[in-house]
Amino acid sequence: MNRKLFLAFIIFFSTKLIAQPYADIVNFSYQTFSSEYKDSSNWKNKTDNYFLNFFVPKVFKSGNTFLVRVNSEMLNSTITPDSSYSSSLASISMPIGMKLVSKNKKWETILLAVPKIASDFKDEIDEHDLQYGGIFLQHYIPSDRLKFKAGLYYNREAFGDFFVPLVGVDWKVNSRINMYGILPTNYKVEFNILKDKLYTGLNLKYFTRSFRLSEKNKYDYVRYNEAQVKLFVDYFVVPKVLVFAEVGYSFGENPMQHTYNTDDDNITRVNPVYTPLKNYPVVSAGIAYRIRFDLEKKSEPTSEKQ
C-alpha cells in the first residue's frame, strides 16, 4: 500500500474511533505472577501467560468496517519448588464481524461472532474443545471527544452459557488525558506525560475464560476469573512501535479446575496446580505495532505536502 493510501485509511478510520485513541495491528505480551496456595504456605504457584493478537480492519466507502481479529493465549502453571507438577493451557479465537455506521455518523453498531478453541491440547481436538460466542455493541457519538457504549458479550464456556452486560464511555478530556474502554472487561485512564511519546495511567481488567482438559483429567475444565488493577507505561521506541509494561494486583481468582459438565463452585483437587491461591501481584510487558489516531491526524497535513 502506498503512503497516501495508507494515510487516507488511517485518517478515515480515526474519525470513527477518535475517542479511543489507538488500534494495535500486532500485539505480543507476557504476564507473570507467583503466589502461595491457600491451603499450604510451603508451596507456590508460578504462572506465565503469553498473548499474541492480530487485527485487520477493512474500511468501505460507506463508512462501514469489516473486522477480523486473531487472538491467541498460552498459560503455563508450575508448582515450586517441585516443578514436576506443571500444566499448560492454550486458546485461539477469531472474532469476525462488522462495524455499521449511521448516515449522520452519530451511531455505530458492532456485531462480532467469536469462534474459539480452548484446551490443554493433549487429546485430538473435538467439538467439546470448541466455544462459540458473540459481541453486540451500540455506540452513540455526540462529538469527536465523546462516545457512549452499551452492549452484551456471550460465550458458550466449558461451564455453560456466560453473559456479560457491557457499558463504557470514551472521553478525550484534553490533549493529555484520555479515558476509554469497556466495563467490566477493560477500561483505562491514560495520561500523556511526554508529548506523543510516553503514556501512563490506570487499567482495570476483568476477564473470565475456560479451558477443557483431556481424558486423563476426566474432561474437567479450568476456569480463570481474572480481575486486576494495574498501572501501565507505554513508550514509542520509534513511530508506531510501542513497548509497554504493567504492574498491579489481582483480586480475582486464579485458574482453578472444576468437575466436567458442572457450573458450581466445587473445585476438584485432582490436579494440585489448579487449586485456590492467595491474591497476588501481577507484572506484564510487551511490544505492539500501534496506530494512534491522534498522532496520525497531527502528521497528516505535513505528510500531504511532502
Tell me which residue has cell 500531504.
304
**Beta-carbon neighbour count of residue 231 at 10 Å?**
13
> How confident is the model over 41-99, as pLDDT tens digits?
678 999 999 999 999 999 998 889 999 999 999 999 999 876 678 899 999 999 999 99
Domain count, the chain: 1
Rounded to an integer, the average pLDDT of 167-182 is 94
User: Can you give the C-alpha Rg of the chain in angstroms?
Assistant: 21
Provide the CA 55 distance to its chain's centre, in angstroms.
Answer: 12
The answer on pLDDT for 168 being more than 60 is: yes
Give the chain as a DSSP string.
--HHHHHHHHHHHHHHHTTS-EEEEEEEEEEEEEEEETTEEEEEEEEEEEEEEEEEEEE-TTS-EEEEEEEEEEEEEEEES-TTSEEEEEEEE--EEEEEE-TTSSEEEEEEEEEEEEE--SS---GGGEEEEEEEEEEEEEETTEEEEEEEEEEEETTEEEEEEEEEEEEE-SSSEEEEEEBTTEEEEEEEEETTTEEEEEEEEEEEEEEE--GGGTT-EEEEEEEEEEEEEEEEEETTEEEEEEEEEE-S---EEE-TT--SSPBP-SSGGGS-B--EEEEEEEEEEEEEHHHHHHHHHHHHH-
Q: Any idea what the Cα angle at residue 270 is, between residues 265 and 272, rounded to 5°?
A: 90
Q: For residue 282, what is its C-alpha cell?
A: 501481577
Residue type, 167: V
pLDDT of residue 304: 43
Nearest CA to 274 among 45, 24, 72?
A: 45
pLDDT of residue 264: 64
What CATH number is associated with residue 81?
A: 2.40.160
pTM: 0.88
Question: Range of 137's domain?
Answer: 3-305
Lowest-confidence region among 9-13, 115-119, 171-175, 279-283: 9-13
Q: Does residue 267 or residue 51 have the better pLDDT?
A: 51
